[in-house]
Structure 1
Amino acid sequence: MKRPKVAVTGASGYIGSQLIARLLPEYDIIALSRSPIQEEPGLEWRYCDLFSLIQAEDGLKGADFAFYLVHSMLPSAHLTQGHFSDMDLILADNFARACASHGVQQIIYLGGIIPPGAELSEHLRSRLEVEECLSGRQIPLTSIRASIIVGARGSSFQILEKMVKRLPVILCPPWTLSQTQPIALQDMIELLAACLGRPACFHQKFDVGGPDIMSYMSLIQTTAEVMGLKRLILQVPWMSMRLSRWWLSEITRSPHELVNPLVESLKHPMVAQDLRLQEQLGIKGLPFREAVQKALIAQKQTPYKPLKTHSRFTQSLQFQDEIYPKDLKVVRSVQRLPLPQGRNALWMAEKYTIWLPRFLRLLVQVNVDENRICSFCMRGLRQPLLVLKFSPERSSLNRPLFYITGGILVSKRKGLMRGRLEFREVLKGKTIIAAIHDFSPSLPWFIYNWTQALVHLWVMEGFRRYLDSLDVL
């Protein structure tokens, strides 16, 4: 009998790898990752960069069910311009489109608990947007919302462990009195697996958590006790959120891009509204103290892989990724734009090609032909600076696509991924994400950062102002 085939994104991560081990006896697994590992019977690794719709479609071929375990808080190119929430939307939208094209029967998404009646942090708001994006393709979605997941090599747990290990005195600002409901990694894996192919879980949202509801201050104290460390934990009446983020990032040596959104979310009570899924399945969960003990033991047995470091530059991040050659610099630039009611992404792309020549007329000449090929030219130069070619075979009304096919500002190095510009509707047509992916400039990197990169941000901000000024009703 043919076994169902399950695709797991983030397969090399700490949750994805544990989930694959749990599912492998019963299912054939498609493990999607930018860092594929050696295969074994029933487990097929596929290289997949979810920023590419083509790769997402190839990666999900043959899948019956799919887990979405991806979160994009760290930069994804050497120069990343844009907010992590917009990156998250691109990843989720590509995943949902690919699932729809292959008839996937269910998507299971691991997100965060959403506190009722609160003004959400950027991190939690992004988690909610991803959930909405994944539900927009008529595929049954199961959303599992959790607070802190306590497991070896998990980002939140590593930050907690490092802080307790390195600080003999820990100052706790008022937000550490907020309540949270941590859950053990083992319990999280069992809940994810139990929802797979279960009709009662289709089109459902479940809060999950362990049996302990505690403040972050108590969480720190308990972790120190389990680690056998005597720590002086003092509550202080005031400490700004900005200072808290900087302090925690420096002490734990974790990227600011990872720490900042997480700390912002700690001001909210992250407590499950109900545990009906766990009650149905009979999974009460491990107490927090026991979950920490298991995580510490597992962490000692797991090889340490340090998080990538960063430095800020032109509102952006410098990034090293194993998928690109070390001497190749790659750019990703993402902006969220308003979409007037009743319009679509193709309309916006056409507006862009009409507006751009007028906006840049004092700097360069932009020629647009009947096939929507845009050539950026400068007087005195025989070759264009940049050429954008519209791709009708990969475009649709809600996602027109241009490939960056030439120009003296584009690297001529062979074997590069194709640079591209896209306009895509997200969140059921509420907004547009304009994005440049996999662009490799010919200019020296330092010069590019201070010239072409800044010009692109200026152009996109000008286009945003133009859209805001339109009366399209």
Structure 2
Amino acid sequence: MTGLEQSESKPVIALTGASGYIGNNLLKKLEKQANIIALSRNGDNYENTENVTWRSADLFSLKDAEKALEGADYAVYLVHSMMPSAKLTQAKFEDMDLILADNFAQAAKKNGVKQIIYLSGIIPPDADELSRHLKSRLEVEKVLGSYDVPVTTVRAGLIVGPKGSSFPIVKKLVKRLPMMLLPKWTRQKTHPIALQDVLHALKGSIGNKKLTGESIDVGGPEVMTYREMMIDTAEVMGKKRKLVNVPFMTVNLSRLWVSVTTGTPKEMVYPLIESLIHPMVANPEHMDKDLSYGKIPFKEAAQSALEHEEQEQKQKENQESLPSKLKPSGPVISDVRSVQRVLLPPGKDATWAATRYIQWLEESGKPFIRTSTDYQHNASIYLFGKKPLLELTYSHERSHERRALYYITGGAFTKPEEQPGRGRLEFRQIPHSQECLIAIHEYKPSLPWFVYSLTQAKIHLWVMYLFKRHLLKSISKDQHPRRIIDAVPKLSE
């Protein structure tokens, strides 16, 4: 019996990504035993039911995250930001993931959430250097646990289901290529698990005191190579495919080939393919006897996924002529999100970084750039004339030593907002580190979009690059030189 089943009354569970692939299926499993706060960026488009309350939440906003988790006993975290989150996104997915996790963990702490359940990836024990994707998953896990809310992490490899990321890529490769050239990574061992077995592990972790603060690996009954999965998938689909092993295809070439062949965005494909250099096999020492051992074989899971996908396609075709239950979506917003990670000098925090940035802009931009700061810490940035390019209003209520928040409230480069206070600049220190994220959220430029993307957006990246180098130069000489060299960014970042 799981912790959820032992509960005397219906708990309230906040479920992120409730409209997505895993979240929506988990919602269906939980709604009879719990009251669900279903969170989505477009939650207002969905109708509430007896046990499900939909809430719109942009987790890039701490304020939104706090409102989203009001009244929750438990919270399931299924967020991953591999895709762009604004019309223009200038950020690595790893940095966006950290902001999302940090906001969620702080909001969980403020609302008295008893436990966070986080779906992550299997972490290979002997890897010298993890891929960006797996390193990010570990970073998120640490940040989620940085605010004294117990975290239970469920680590899974390739999840076999009708949507998601990895299995649909395997399916598309098999479907579209009569002959497949298989690079070395396709012989790497992995531990596929059926969607239903993952849902069982997630559900069983909620309220499970035995797993408080623990991480568990989950996997299906078979350990396979990607080559073997392709062979089995082809058999399930009734297709004959010729597979040829090739020694010359690198990971970088493979990720481009997979993206082009399957039509999957590179933002999703690249991190996933990079992770395939690691064996993704569940470690028996990290497995729970009741939740970790999936029972559905790969072929059965693949067959079920393909049948489910076919049924969904037929339902979609039949319902195209019927009125939609969803409310009409709003207009496309021309907004910007830009996130850069910098290394702070020892003993310095986010508040110092914000103050230093404003000062540095004038010092490095003389005689063209001028800045001013008043006694309330509000700042203005000028170019030549008396009219500011940007006006930044400091939020005393939302700021502290580890976070400095400014709302973008005016200036020649800012479009007047229908919802004042959404555009913002923040300096956020990553918990237990000297790294700081400098982020612009929901900024709406006044320049025509084409002009902005070719000028102001590029200049911002250049300014961030120079500021990052400035901070590195100010780090004391006793810092390890290798760390400083590694921290110097490429301009394209």
Superposition TM-score tier, normalisation by shorter sequence? over 0.9
Q: What's the offset of the Cα at 1:426?
A: 1.2
Task: State the one-letter code of the partner of 2:99.
Answer: I
With the length of structure 1 as denominator, give the TM-score of the two structures: 0.93
Q: What's the offset of the Cα at 1:412?
A: 2.0
- Corresponding residue for residue 402 of structure 1: 406
Counterparts of 1:340-379 in structure 2 under 5 Å? 340-379=345-384
Q: What's the offset of the Cα at 1:278?
A: 4.4
- Corresponding residue for residue 317 of structure 1: none
User: Secondary structure of 1:297's partner?
Assistant: helix
Q: What's the offset of the Cα at 1:301?
A: 2.0
- The Cα offsets for residues 288-325 of structure 1, whole Å up to 9 and x where unpaired, read as 1111011111111225999xxxxxxxxxxxxxxx9762
Structure 2: 5+ residue stretches without partners: 1-7, 317-327, 479-493
Q: 1:437 to 1:82 in 2, by over 3 A?
A: same
- Corresponding residue for residue 214 of structure 1: 224
- Corresponding residue for residue 134 of structure 2: 124
Q: 1:112 to 1:471 in 2, by over 3 A?
A: closer
With the length of structure 2 as denominator, give the TM-score of the two structures: 0.89
RMSD: 1.9
Pair 1:272-2:278 in alignment? no
- Corresponding residue for residue 252 of structure 2: 242
Q: What's the offset of the Cα at 1:277?
A: 4.1
C-alpha distance in 1 between matches for 2:303 and 2:468: 51
Pair 1:387-2:397 in alignment? no
Contact 2:407–2:421 (CA under 8 A) maintained in structure 1: no
Counterparts of 1:296-335 in structure 2 under 5 Å? 296-303=306-313, 325-326=331-332, 328-335=333-340
Q: What's the offset of the Cα at 1:247?
A: 1.0
- Corresponding residue for residue 5 of structure 1: 12
C-alpha distance in 1 between matches for 2:314 and 2:41: 19
User: Secondary structure of 2:146's partner?
Assistant: helix
User: Secondary structure of 2:112's partner?
Assistant: coil
C-alpha distance in 1 between matches for 2:273 and 2:314: 23
247-256 or 349-358, which deviates more: 349-358
User: Secondary structure of 1:38's partner?
Assistant: coil
Q: What's the offset of the Cα at 1:39?
A: 1.5
C-alpha distance in 1 between matches for 2:334 and 2:431: 31
1:99 to 104, 108, 131: 108
C-alpha distance in 2 between matches for 1:427 and 1:28: 32
- Corresponding residue for residue 310 of structure 1: none
Contact 2:216–2:288 (CA under 8 A) maintained in structure 1: no
User: Secondary structure of 1:342's partner?
Assistant: coil
User: Secondary structure of 1:223's partner?
Assistant: helix
Contact 1:34–1:323 (CA under 8 A) maintained in structure 2: no
Contact 1:27–1:42 (CA under 8 A) maintained in structure 2: yes
C-alpha distance in 2 between matches for 1:258 and 1:349: 32
- Corresponding residue for residue 256 of structure 1: 266
- The Cα offsets for residues 335-387 of structure 1, whole Å up to 9 and x where unpaired, read as 001022322211211222222221222322212222222112233x4522111
C-alpha distance in 2 between matches for 1:83 and 1:167: 31
Q: What's the offset of the Cα at 1:55?
A: 0.5
Contact 2:75–2:117 (CA under 8 A) maintained in structure 1: yes
- Corresponding residue for residue 58 of structure 2: 49
Contact 1:209–1:275 (CA under 8 A) maintained in structure 2: no
Matched residues, number: 456
Structure 1: 5+ residue stretches without partners: 307-321
Counterparts of 1:142-181 in structure 2 under 5 Å? 142-181=152-191
Pair 1:88-2:104 in alignment? no
Q: 1:234 to 1:282 in 2, by over 3 A?
A: closer
Task: State the one-letter code of the partner of 2:226.
Answer: Y
User: Secondary structure of 2:408's partner?
Assistant: strand
- The Cα offsets for residues 402-450 of structure 1, whole Å up to 9 and x where unpaired, read as 0101011101253466210001111423311110000000101111112
200-209 or 341-350, which deviates more: 341-350
C-alpha distance in 2 between matches for 1:123 and 1:417: 32
Percent identity of the aligned residues? 48
C-alpha distance in 2 between matches for 1:385 and 1:158: 46
Contact 2:187–2:226 (CA under 8 A) maintained in structure 1: yes
1:189 to 169, 181, 199: 199
User: Secondary structure of 2:118's partner?
Assistant: strand
1:69 to 78, 83, 107: 78
Q: 1:351 to 1:415 in 2, by over 3 A?
A: closer
Q: 1:276 to 1:441 in 2, by over 3 A?
A: closer
User: Secondary structure of 1:392's partner?
Assistant: coil
- The Cα offsets for residues 6-29 of structure 1, whole Å up to 9 and x where unpaired, read as 001111111000111101111000
Q: 1:218 to 1:82 in 2, by over 3 A?
A: same
Contact 1:344–1:429 (CA under 8 A) maintained in structure 2: no
Task: State the one-letter code of the partner of 1:63.
Answer: A
Q: What's the offset of the Cα at 1:392?
A: 0.4
- Corresponding residue for residue 470 of structure 1: 474
Pair 1:443-2:447 in alignment? yes
Task: State the one-letter code of the partner of 2:331.
Answer: P
Q: What's the offset of the Cα at 1:275?
A: 6.8
C-alpha distance in 2 between matches for 1:31 and 1:417: 25
C-alpha distance in 2 between matches for 1:340 and 1:377: 27
User: Secondary structure of 2:469's partner?
Assistant: helix
Contact 1:172–1:234 (CA under 8 A) maintained in structure 2: yes
